[in-house]
């Protein structure tokens, strides 16, 4: 794979915006505004990518719908991290053949990480003939050009060339939220964990320039966004590829200095690169939320080596200890894979004991899913799925117990919370977040959405807190 990172020139983006104007002229000739449906799967980075796709679509004259029957363009922005995610996309993609029969002029697009997998792109080409456009994350910046081609010429477009990746600035954005915002600070990954497809589909690590990141954050703060999350596959590696090196802790401090009343979050952090400097910066910067997502994946050293994680159990626990000394109220979340190839029940017990020792606030838990092209997909995997499922349930039960106990400790406290949306619950119509990102349900008028308010916690369960306005 080519290692050179490409920075897309302003002229290239200007050319794409010209394609937008040409497509917009075609859209204006229609009897009604054409609509687009962007369906996003997977991580926050995919959500951020979809916001740029919507930005381009708006410039091309499209409005938005959640109804695939009304959409002239359907975009499926896909995830490849687990088999279940891929099967879900393929199932939904198959169902669209009936929609397209009813609307033959409809353009159906597949993008994102799944699209970058060669075997998936070939399967779509051969078996899903109703799909018009397939492109990977590296080619997102050319989306208007692809749509222009499909509207003015016959044929299908497949753009999934293997490359190190690119960085493009100046792509328009349509954000889905008026309170919370995603800001990508870097793309790609160099870690090559043996189970993970991300480095193969997202390319090598490449960092945006700090001035571009800060300009985006300044604009968001000026527009009144209250919760800004910095995104990267491994934010702790930020800046290593810049001409003038700047590490993530330094960037965090600069973002913290941006004027405005907002919280700063970030994800994801790799334990091998989480430094004392980062922890000290988090403790010192008042806008940085006291929460850290620090995936440990497994509690046994042999399994961690097989995963190619580059740290061991003792190192992970030492990091957590240092972090808690600096930020006693830190909210810790993590990822765990159950049933990695070769993992024994005895080794899994060490994962449970690590949970008991650290006492995470929440976990994202998964049974191992082999990904084509990764080393782990070729490893011997003797443990029956039934046993993996039993171990997985033990993990979930233990974490649910810990989460319930930690949430119960909030009852009676008053916290400054960000009211960020509608909960969908008539009894507690508002959803809010503590500084540590714990969900709080409470009563109150919708006008409070987007405001920080003091909230008294009155009740709790395993998954959320319940509260009342304390003002």
pLDDT number for residue 374: 95
> Do 177-289 and 291-407 show the same overall fold?
yes
And the tokens for 261?
């009343």
Question: Can you name the residues that pair with 229 across neighbouring β-strands?
Answer: 182, 265
Contact 228, 222 (CB under 8 A): no
The pTM for the full model equals: 0.94
Q: What separation in angstroms does the CA of 222 have from each of 68, 84, 146, 258, 364? A: 35, 40, 34, 10, 33
pLDDT number for residue 4: 58
State the CB neighbour count (10 A cutoff) for residue 64: 14
pLDDT number for residue 447: 95
154, HSE (Cβ side, Cα atoms, 13 Å): 0
And the tokens for 54?
């919507």
pLDDT number for residue 181: 96
Query: Taking the domain 414-469, which CATH number applies?
Result: 2.40.50
**Per-residue pLDDT in tens (0 to 9) along the chain, 471 residues:** 445 567 899 999 999 999 999 999 999 999 999 999 999 998 899 999 999 999 999 999 999 999 999 999 999 999 988 888 888 999 999 999 999 999 999 999 999 999 999 899 999 999 999 999 999 999 999 999 999 999 999 889 999 877 767 899 999 999 988 999 999 999 999 999 999 999 999 988 999 999 999 999 999 999 999 999 999 999 999 999 998 889 999 999 999 999 999 999 999 999 999 999 999 999 999 999 999 999 999 999 999 999 999 999 999 999 999 999 999 999 999 999 999 999 999 999 999 999 999 999 999 999 999 999 999 999 999 999 999 999 999 999 999 999 999 999 999 999 999 999 998 888 899 999 999 999 999 999 999 999 999 999 999 999 999 999 997
Name the architecture of domain 6-166.
Answer: 3-Layer(aba) Sandwich (3.40)
**Euclidean distance between CA atoms 193 and 310, whole angstroms:** 9
Contact 13, 212 (CB under 8 A): no
Name the architecture of domain 291-407.
Answer: 2-Layer Sandwich (3.30)
And the tokens for 285?
């910067």
Contact 167, 205 (CB under 8 A): no
Domain ranges in the chain?
6-166, 177-289, 291-407, 414-469
**Euclidean distance between CA atoms 44 and 51, whole angstroms:** 11
And the tokens for 317?
């626990």
**Euclidean distance between CA atoms 458 and 462, whole angstroms:** 14
Name the architecture of domain 177-289.
Answer: 2-Layer Sandwich (3.30)
pLDDT number for residue 2: 43
């Amino acid at each position: 794979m080519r290692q050179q990172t490409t920075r897309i020139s302003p002229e290239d983006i200007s050319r794409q915006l010209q394609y937008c104007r040409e497509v917009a002229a075609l859209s204006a000739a229609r009897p009604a505004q054409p609509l687009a449906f962007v369906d996003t799967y997977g991580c926050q980075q995919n959500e951020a990518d979809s916001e740029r796709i919507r930005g381009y679509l708006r410039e091309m004259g499209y409005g938005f719908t959640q109804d695939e029957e009304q959409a002239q363009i359907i975009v499926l922005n896909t995830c490849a991290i687990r088999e279940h995610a891929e099967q879900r996309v393929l199932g939904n993609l198959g169902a669209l053949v009936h929609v397209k029969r009813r609307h033959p002029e409809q353009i159906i697009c597949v993008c994102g990480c799944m699209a970058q997998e060669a075997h998936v792109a070939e399967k779509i080409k051969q078996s899903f003939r109703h799909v018009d456009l397939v492109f990977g994350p590296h080619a997102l910046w050319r989306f208007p050009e692809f749509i222009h081609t499909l509207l003015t010429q016959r044929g299908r477009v497949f753009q999934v060339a293997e490359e190190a990746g690119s960085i493009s600035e100046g792509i328009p954005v349509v954000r889905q939220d008026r309170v919370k915002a995603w800001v990508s600070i870097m793309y790609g990954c160099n870690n090559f964990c043996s189970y993970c497809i991300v480095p193969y589909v997202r390319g090598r690590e490449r960092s945006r320039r700090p001035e571009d990141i800060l300009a985006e954050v300044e604009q968001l703060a000026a527009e009144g966004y209250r919760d800004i999350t910095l995104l990267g596959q491994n934010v702790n590696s930020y800046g290593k590829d810049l001409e003038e090196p700047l590490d993530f802790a330094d960037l965090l401090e600069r973002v913290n200095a941006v004027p405005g009343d907002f919280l700063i979050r970030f994800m994801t952090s790799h334990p091998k690169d989480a430094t004392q400097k980062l922890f000290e910066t988090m403790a010192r910067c008042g806008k940085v939320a006291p929460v850290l997502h620090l995936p440990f994946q497994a509690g046994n050293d042999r399994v961690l080596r097989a995963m190619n994680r580059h740290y061991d159990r003792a190192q992970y626990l030492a990091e957590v200890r240092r972090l808690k000394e600096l930020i006693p109220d830190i909210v810790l979340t993590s990822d765990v894979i159950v049933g990695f190839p070769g993992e024994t029940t005895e080794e899994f017990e060490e994962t449970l004991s690590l949970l008991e020792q650290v006492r995470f606030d929440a976990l994202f838990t998964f049974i191992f899913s082999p990904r084509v092209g990764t080393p782990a997909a070729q490893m011997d995997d003797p443990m029956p799925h039934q046993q993996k499922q039993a171990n997985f349930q033990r993990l979930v039960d233990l974490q649910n117990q810990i989460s319930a106990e930690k949430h119960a400790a909030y009852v009676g406290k008053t916290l400054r919370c960000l009211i960020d949306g509608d909960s969908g619950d008539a009894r507690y119509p508002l959803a809010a977040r503590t500084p540590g990102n714990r969900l709080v349900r409470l009563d109150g008028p919708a006008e409070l959405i987007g405001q920080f308010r003091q909230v008294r916690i009155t009740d709790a369960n395993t998954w959320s807190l319940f509260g009342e306005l304390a003002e």
